[in-house]
Amino acid sequence: MAEQRKLRVALVGLGRMGQIHAKNYAFLVPRAEVVAVCDVRDASLEWAKENLNPAVQTFKDAEDMFKNSGAEAVLIATETSKHAPLTELAISNGLHVLLEKPIAVDIESSRRVVEHSQKYPHIKTMVAFNRRFDESNLALKAAIDAGDLGKIHLFRAWTADVYDPSGFFINFSKSSGGLFTDVGVHDVDLARWFTNMPSSCPNPKQEVSKVFAVGQQVRHPELRELQDADNGDCIIEFTNGTTAVLHFSRTGRNGSETFIEVCGTEQRVAVNPGAEKNKLQIRDKHGVRTECHQTVMDRFKDAFIRELQVFTDCVLDDTPLPVSLEDALQASKVCYALTLSFRSGQPVYFDENGNIIPPSAANK
Ligand SMILES: NC(=O)c1ccc[n+]([C@@H]2O[C@H](COP(=O)([O-])OP(=O)(O)OC[C@H]3O[C@@H](n4cnc5c(N)ncnc54)[C@H](O)[C@@H]3O)[C@@H](O)[C@H]2O)c1
């Protein structure tokens, strides 16, 4: 059998997430070959030398890598505040882009990335919403699209990261867009995907009528100064008749929980309600219990691999991407409205063109 052509892939940003992507791309995506990696930190490049094929080129400057490594596609997994300029640079240099979520920390930069990509229609750019590639979420989506749940009216989600006493996410807050964007964008994207937005909305330009969010600094009062929270709750009223009720937390005690529930007129379906890591049931001095995943990286281990495989197939076979940049922009917009609501204490409304009405203007 003739050997299949492999996609030549590079990665920028080899931190917590980038190292997982690099190993997955290097060893678990048969149609791809990692040709180069880039990080501004020496420690990350040392990690690459120890963990990847020695032939992989290492760079400290992304533009140098885009121009000189021979890569055809790049996975960008730097902190979010660097996403927009790197994505635009990669696209301008002719590389297909798989970008970690969200597009950027603010809406203007996100919109600029979308507009820039539109100038290069032959380049494929996808935001890595890994939860869309989870086996259970894919099964739920298929059931929804087959009409099994009936008319969907409620989406609930509980997304909790295990508490990290080092306070990593306090520094991270400045470059991540804060709790409602960094954590919330996954669940807002799922709500949009499950309910087929924007086509399910009477006016596809306006997906949301209003949102309301509250937040707390349960363990980290320092977050108040950054106008961020370690726990947040929100309600989103979508114009397609679905309400989303979401809880985000960075202070989970037992592990990483990503519970979702979709309520329709015919069925109510939950994914991961018990948060069990496996089928073990342990009986000991604590009673009867199960264990749960400690991180989202463990929980979505297979989804992280599948998203790389799907992106690679789409580029090599020139087929449409399953997530559009416009999807990612819309999800970010809702998350920004949640942040505004949390900071102002007001509900935030959207106009008929889908633009956020700033809370002060809405109250006049
Ligand atoms: N999908 C998920 O579930 C999930 C989980 C965690 C993080 N993420 C996303 O992944 C991204 C990275 O998060 P992280 O926790 O891995 O961050 P991190 O801080 O651990 O890693 C970022 C890396 O990027 C490098 N970097 C920064 N600027 C660079 C540049 N200009 N050129 C080259 N390298 C550069 C840093 O040196 C660092 O090694 C974020 O956007 C985050 O939202 C997604």
Distance 58 CA to ligand 1 centre (A): 17
Q: Look at residue 273 in the predicted model and tell me its pLDDT.
A: 92
Tell me the CA–centroid distance for residue 357 and ligand 1, in Å. 31
Q: What is the pLDDT of residues 256-306, one digit of tens each?
A: 999 999 999 999 999 999 899 999 999 999 999 999 999 999 999 999 999
Domain that holds residue 157: 132-298+326-362
299 Cα–ligand 1 center, Å: 19
pLDDT at 33 over 80: yes
What pLDDT score does 100 carry? 98
Same domain, 64 and 199: no
Q: Identify which of 271, 183, 264, 166 has the alpha carbon closest to the alpha carbon of residue 219.
A: 166
Q: Give the domain-ending residue among 99, 128, 157.
A: 128
Gap from CA of 26 to ligand 1 centroid (Å): 18
**Spatial CB neighbours of 46, under 8 Å, sequence gap ≥ 6:** none
287: alpha, beta or left? (left if phi > 0; alpha if psi -120 to 50): left
Q: Give the position, in ligand 1's atom list, of the atom nearest the Cα of 44.
A: 39
Which ligand 1 atom is the nearest neighbour of the CA of 41?
A: 37
Q: Taking 90 as the threshold, does the pLDDT of residue 335 lie above it?
A: yes
Residue 2 is predicted with a pLDDT of 63
Backbone angles phi, psi at 316, to 5 degrees: -65, -35
Between strands 348-350 and 356-357, the pairing is: antiparallel
Let me know whether 123 and 216 are in one domain: no
Ligand 1: list residues with CB < 6 Å: 12-18, 38-41, 44, 62, 77-80, 82, 100-101, 130, 176, 182, 296
User: In the chain, how many domains are there?
Assistant: 2
Residues 37 and 80 both lie in one domain: yes
Nearest CA to ligand 1 atom 41: 80
Report which of 202, 170, 163, 208 is spatially closest to residue 331, judged by C-alpha positions. Answer: 208
State how far the Cα of 56 lies from the Cα of 323, in Å rounded to an integer.
29
Using the mean position of ligand 1's atoms as its centre, give its distance from the Cα of residue 324 in Å: 21
Closest CA to 99 of 108, 107, 110, 316: 110
Q: Is 319 a member of any domain?
A: no
Summarised one tens digit per residue, pLDDT across range 133-154 is 999 999 999 999 999 999 999 9
Quote the pLDDT of residue 4: 85
Q: What is the pLDDT of residue 355?
A: 97
Over 90: is that where the pLDDT of 319 sits?
yes
- Show the DSSP H helices in 131-229 as ranges: 135-145, 168-176, 179-182, 184-194
Question: Measured from the CA of 304, which atom of ligand 1 is nearest?
Answer: 1
* 56 Cα–ligand 1 center, Å: 20
Is the confidence at residue 96, as pLDDT, over 60? yes
Peptide bond into 30 cis (omega under 30): no
Residue nearest (by alpha carbon) to ligand 1 atom 13: 79
Q: Does residue 182 sit in the same domain as residue 55?
A: no
Q: What is the pLDDT of residue 168?
A: 82
pLDDT band for 363, please (50, 70, 90 cuts). low
pLDDT beyond 90 at 179: yes
pTM of the predicted model, to two decimals?
0.96
Domain shared by 138 and 110, yes or no: no
Mean pLDDT for the stretch of residues 221-231: 95
Residue 131 tokens, joined: 């939860």
Mean pLDDT of the chain: 96
